[in-house]
């Protein structure tokens, strides 16, 4: 058990819909990262938050947004979903800067039908 909790584990939804993925980081970790893993794109960094503030942005679509709350949990919002958004979405957490470790949650498998 990595200590990073993601909910839900599986999500099936229709095109055009909006979903929210939730992540609770390991106790004490200030950084939260979101990654997308798809068959054609591999593991892609989406966005990072550090202590409530956006720290880095990667290949995140405008239809996607995220935030980190004062209790450090994070949510990834995906809207106007398309078939191509079907993927495994991971949250990871780490203590802060210059990390020597980064632990991943079990992922949320999103299927858009």
SS3 103: strand
Per-position x/- string for 53-92, each x denoting binding to other proteins as judged by CB under 8 A, each - no binding: --xx-x-----------------------------x-x-x
> CB of residue 28 vs other proteins: minimum separation in angstroms?
15
Q: Which two tokens stand for residue 62?
A: 């405008």
Q: Does 27 bind other proteins (CB under 8 A)?
A: no
Rank residues 70 and 98 by Cβ distance to other proteins and give the closer one: 98
> CB of residue 34 vs other proteins: minimum separation in angstroms?
10
CA 49 – CA 82 distance, rounded (Å): 25
Q: For the residues of 27-93, what is the DSSP string, one character each? A: TT--EEEEEEEETTTEEEEEEEEETTEEEEE-S--TTEEEEE-TTS-EEEEE-S--GGG-EEEEEEE
51 vs 48, 57, 65, CA distance in Å?
10, 15, 17
Rank residues 51 and 80 by Cβ distance to other proteins and give the closer one: 51
> CB of residue 43 vs other proteins: minimum separation in angstroms?
4
Binding site for other proteins (CB under 8 A): 2, 31, 33, 35, 42-43, 45, 48, 55-56, 58, 88, 90, 92, 94, 96-107, 109
């Amino acid at each position: 058990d990595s200590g990073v909790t993601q909910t839900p584990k599986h999500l099936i939804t229709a095109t055009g819909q909006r979903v929210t993925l939730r992540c609770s980081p390991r106790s004490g970790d200030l950084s939260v990262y979101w990654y997308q893993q798809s068959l054609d794109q591999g593991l892609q960094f989406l966005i990072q938050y550090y202590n409530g503030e956006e720290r880095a942005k990667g290949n995140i679509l405008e239809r996607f947004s995220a935030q980190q709350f004062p209790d450090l949990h994070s949510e990834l919002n995906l809207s106007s979903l398309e078939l191509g958004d079907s993927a495994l979405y991971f949250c990871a957490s780490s203590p802060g800067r210059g990390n020597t470790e980064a632990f991943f949650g079990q992922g949320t498998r999103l299927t858009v039908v």
